[in-house]
Amino acid sequence: MFKLGLTGSIGMGKSTTAQMFGDLGCDVYDADAAVHRMYGKGGLAIEPMRAMIPAAVVNDEISRDHLREAIMNDPTLLKKIEGVVHPLLGQDRADFMAKVTSDIVVFDIPLLFETGGQVNMNAVACVWIDAQTQEKRVMERGIMTQEQFEAIRAKQLPADEKRDRADYVIVTDTPEHARAQVAEIVNSIRQGIADA
């Protein structure tokens, strides 16, 4: 089984690209979706977070807005939150891997390089678009302020650095172009598996 890390900065089109891999028969692990489950009602992160940041738990689920605000007010919280979430994610990923049937598993992990996760992958693909397009896409979603976007971007490795460190780059200028690049990557990996 080939493990492909899929990463990219906010607004680069990673979720859409992950779906394209899924459409080609790859199993896709979505780290953000796993975190959403952990933050939702009955999620595994609720009680540890309630103990650490009581204000972040609203109606028995974690409010991302309250969490973001707490981190803005106390940047040291981020490391503590990661200390809770990362082990839970590791277990969730292991449970997912136990059910995998595809020859290629794509791990959709936004902070792959930032957390050193690339060492567990056979290769890394990075979605990329220029900074102006990135900003336009995020602002058009209407879910965060310019300040919040800049804060998130500042926490991530620069997009160009992620691109330069990746084995494959997927330029997400148009869906058709992205889909063609994804197909090329999948074919190349499958050819490699066949030749091994």
A 10 A CB-CB count for 78 gives 13
Q: How far is CA 93 from CA 31, 72, 74, 109, 183, in A?
A: 8, 29, 29, 11, 25
Mean pLDDT of the chain: 93
Query: pLDDT (tens digit, 9 = 90+) per residue, 64-117?
Result: 889 988 988 998 998 899 899 989 998 999 999 999 999 999 999 988 998 899
Residue 196 has pLDDT above 80, yes or no: no
Kindly provide the b/e burial profile for residues 85-119, where b requires at least 16 CB atoms within 10 angstroms of the residue's own CB: beebbeebbeebeeeeeeebbbbbbbbbbeeebbe
List where CATH 3.40.50.300 sits in the chain. Answer: 1-26+104-196
Sorted by sequence, the CB contacts under 8 Å of residue 131 that are 6+ apart come out as: 159
Q: Tell me, what's the pLDDT at 13?
A: 92
Which band of pLDDT confidence, cut at 50, 70 and 90, is reported for residue 143? confident
42-47 average pLDDT score: 94
CATH code for the domain defined by 1-26+104-196: 3.40.50.300
Residue 152 has pLDDT above 90, yes or no: no
Q: Tell me, what's the pLDDT at 123?
A: 98
Name which of 24, 37, 31, 36 is nearest 5 in CA terms. Answer: 31
Q: Tell me, what's the pLDDT at 173?
A: 96
Q: Tell me, what's the pLDDT at 75?
A: 83
pLDDT > 70 in the chain, percent: 100
